[in-house]
Amino acid sequence: METKTVILPEGDDPRIIEAAHRLQQNKIVTPILLTQERTENTLECIDPQQSDWLPEFARAYTNGPRKVSQKIAARLVKKPLYFGGMMVATGKADMLVAGVANPTRRVMEAGQMTIGLAGGINTPSSFFLMDFPNYQNQGPRQFIFADCALNVEPNARELADIAIASAQSATRLLSEPVKIAMLSFSTHGSAQHAKVELVRDALALVQGEAPELAIDGELQVDAALSQGVAEKKITTESSVAGKANVLVFPDLNAANIGYKIAQYFSDGQALGPILQGFSKPIADLSRGATVDDIVETVRILRHMA
C-alpha cells in the first residue's frame, strides 16, 4: 500500500506526539505535527505561524466555499486546524486527524472551510466501523453504522446524504459488496407514521440520485440483518434485506443507542466516529481519546485516502 501522510494539527498534545511516533515506527502513515515547539525527535514538525506555504494557502482559501478577503484568509490559515486543512486541500497531506484539543464544531468548521464537502453531498456526517470478530458464530464481519455522532434529527435530504456518504465509506472499508438498510420501526409499510415517511422519502432521494446502490427501506433492524426474519416480513424481492452491512439510523437517538448496545452486548468493537461526506479524509477525535484510539483512527482513515 502506498505510504500516506497524515497532518496532526494538535502537535503539542503528548498523546498526539506518542501516536505519531507509533504511526511512524510501524510505517502505518507518515505523520506531520503542527507545533511551534521545536522538540528533538525524528518527527516532521511545521510551525503554521512561520511556514513558507502561508501566502499560497491564503490565496487558495479566498477561492474556497466562503469568499473572504486576503487579509482575513491570511489570518485564518495560520490557525493549526485551518493550516492542516489547507495542507490536505492542496495535496501536501492525504488526511487530517484532530479533536483531542478542539471541540467537534471547530474541527467540522475548519474541514468544511478548507477541504470542503464531496460533490453531491451537502451534509457532513459520521460513522462507526463496527468490528465483530465472530459475528453470530460465523467468523469476523464488519459493518458501517451511521450517523452516530453528528446529526440529531436529520430531514429526508440530510438522511439521504448520510446514506450516500456511508456507501462511499463502506466501499473503501468493507471487504464485501455494500448493502444499505434505511432503518425504522417499520418494515415496508408495517407501520404508518411521519417518522416512517421521512425514511421512505430519504430512500426515494437516494434511489433517484444513486440508482447503482443496493439500498432498501424502510427496514426494522431484524429484517435488515436476519434472512430468516426478512423472508417472513418482506414479500417483495430485496437484495439488501437480511444481508445489510451498512445501517443508516433515522436519528441520533437511535444511532447512538444502537451502536453502544451492539458494542456492549457483544465482543464487538466500535471504531470511530469517523467523519464522512468530505472531499478528502478527515477525522474528529474525542477529547478523551487515547494513543491507541488515535492510531486506530488513522489506520482506518488511511484506507479512505
pLDDT digit string (tens) for 198-231?
999 999 999 999 999 999 988 999 999 998 998 8
SS3 131: strand
Domains, the chain: 5-116+279-302 (3.40.50.10950), 125-270 (3.40.50.10750)
Q: What is the DSSP letter of 54?
A: H
User: What's the average model confidence in pLDDT over 42-71?
Assistant: 86
How many Cβ atoms sit within 10 Å of the Cβ of residue 64?
18
Cis peptide before 13 (omega within 30 of 0): no
Are the beta carbons of 200 and 208 closer than 8 angstroms?
A: no
User: What's the average model confidence in pLDDT over 264-269?
Assistant: 86
What confidence tens digit (pLDDT) does each residue in 131-176 have? Answer: 998 888 888 999 999 999 899 999 999 999 999 999 999 999 999 9
What confidence tens digit (pLDDT) does each residue in 95-131 have? Answer: 999 999 999 889 999 999 999 999 889 999 999 999 9
297 band by pLDDT with thresholds 50, 70 and 90: very high
Are the beta carbons of 43 and 33 closer than 8 angstroms?
A: yes
| Average pLDDT value for the chain | 91
Give the strands of the sheet with 215-219, arranged side by side. Answer: 215-219, 180-183, 246-248, 141-146, 125-132, 269-276
Give the chain's end-to-end CA distance (angstroms, integer): 11
> What pLDDT sits at residue 64?
66
> What pLDDT sits at residue 192?
87
127 beta partners: 146, 274
User: What's the average model confidence in pLDDT over 33-48?
Assistant: 84
Cα 234 to Cα 136: distance, rounded to the nearest angstrom: 22
Cα 237 to Cα 214: distance, rounded to the nearest angstrom: 12
Cα 101 to Cα 109: distance, rounded to the nearest angstrom: 15
Are the beta carbons of 123 and 154 closer than 8 angstroms?
A: yes
65 band by pLDDT with thresholds 50, 70 and 90: low
Q: What is the DSSP letter of 135?
A: G
> What pLDDT sits at residue 58?
92
Matching residue, cell 483531542: 100
The stretches of the chain forming alpha helices (DSSP H) are: 14-25, 54-61, 70-76, 80-89, 104-114, 156-173, 194-209, 221-225, 227-233, 252-264, 291-302
Share of the chain above pLDDT 70, in %: 97
Strands 125-132 and 141-146: antiparallel
DSSP assignment of 136-150, as one string?
GGS--EEEEEE-SSS
Report whether pLDDT(239) > 80.
yes
CA distance readout (Å), 59 to 51, 68, 171, 261: 14, 10, 34, 47
SS3 8: strand
How many Cβ atoms sit within 10 Å of the Cβ of residue 185?
15
pTM, two decimal places = 0.87
> What pLDDT sits at residue 210?
94
